[in-house]
């Protein structure tokens, strides 16, 4: 994927403590290899700590504290999962409003595993097809979503995926979707 198809694209990665580490690290690596600039945005101002399947993982520096980050400075959004991270984000009005602003602006969003909890809370899930961790099936259906059990699903400006096992397919579809945004940005410039 090291082909610079996303050169000039700026991607926000919204997380707080407890994000599933592989769901941030591997998609971020794919985005960076495709030429995107990725930045960790968080309600925390210094660092965030990942969850590595069964225990705490690595700490990563926060690039942009959420209270200073501006949606208009980014072209796309990545929402990693984990159970702790999206559950905490959906309880913070500023995080929820930030996610909603990406959808309102028509910017592409990628979410994996439990990340769609924040999309539900933002009120932008209804009428969509979304893949997620199976335990979210009822939550998503109750929010008016067609839950699908597939590696990666694209619905308009949203790509979603079930689990860390699906990251290769998720990365391919995310880069393709974000690449459409990158092409639009170049045409407008």
Burial 64-82 (b: 16+ CB within 10 A, else e): bebeebebeebbbbbbbbb
Q: Mapping DSSP to helix (H, G, I), strand (E, B) and coil, where does residue 79 land?
A: strand
How far apart are alpha carbons 111 and 155 in whole angstroms?
Answer: 12
How far apart are alpha carbons 25 and 31 in whole angstroms?
Answer: 10
CB 112 within 8 A of CB 160: yes
Q: Which residues are catalytic?
A: 113-114
Task: Give start and end residues of each alpha helix (H) in the chain.
Answer: 21-33, 84-89, 93-104, 116-121, 137-142, 167-188
Angle CA(11)–CA(53)–CA(135) in degrees, nearest 5?
A: 85
């Amino acid at each position: 994927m090291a082909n610079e198809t996303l050169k000039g694209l700026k991607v926000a990665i919204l997380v707080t403590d407890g994000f599933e580490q592989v769901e941030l690290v591997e998609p971020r690596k794919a985005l960076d290899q495709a030429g995107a600039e990725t930045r960790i945005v968080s309600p925390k101002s210094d660092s965030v700590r990942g969850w590595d399947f069964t225990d705490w993982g690595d700490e990563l520096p926060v690039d942009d504290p959420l209270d200073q980050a501006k949606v208009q400075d980014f072209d796309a959004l990545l929402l990693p999962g984990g159970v702790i991270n999206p559950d905490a984000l959906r309880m913070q009005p500023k995080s929820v409003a930030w996610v909603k602003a990406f959808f309102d602006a028509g910017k592409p969003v990628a979410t994996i595993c439990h990340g769609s909890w924040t999309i539900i809370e933002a009120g932008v899930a209804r009428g969509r097809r979304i893949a997620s961790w199976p335990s979210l099936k009822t939550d998503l259906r109750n929010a008016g979503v067609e839950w699908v059990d597939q590696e990666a699903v694209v619905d308009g400006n949203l790509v979603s995926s079930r689990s860390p096992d699906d990251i290769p397919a998720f990365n391919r579809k995310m880069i393709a979707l974000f690449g459409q945004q990158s092409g639009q940005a170049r045409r407008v410039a």
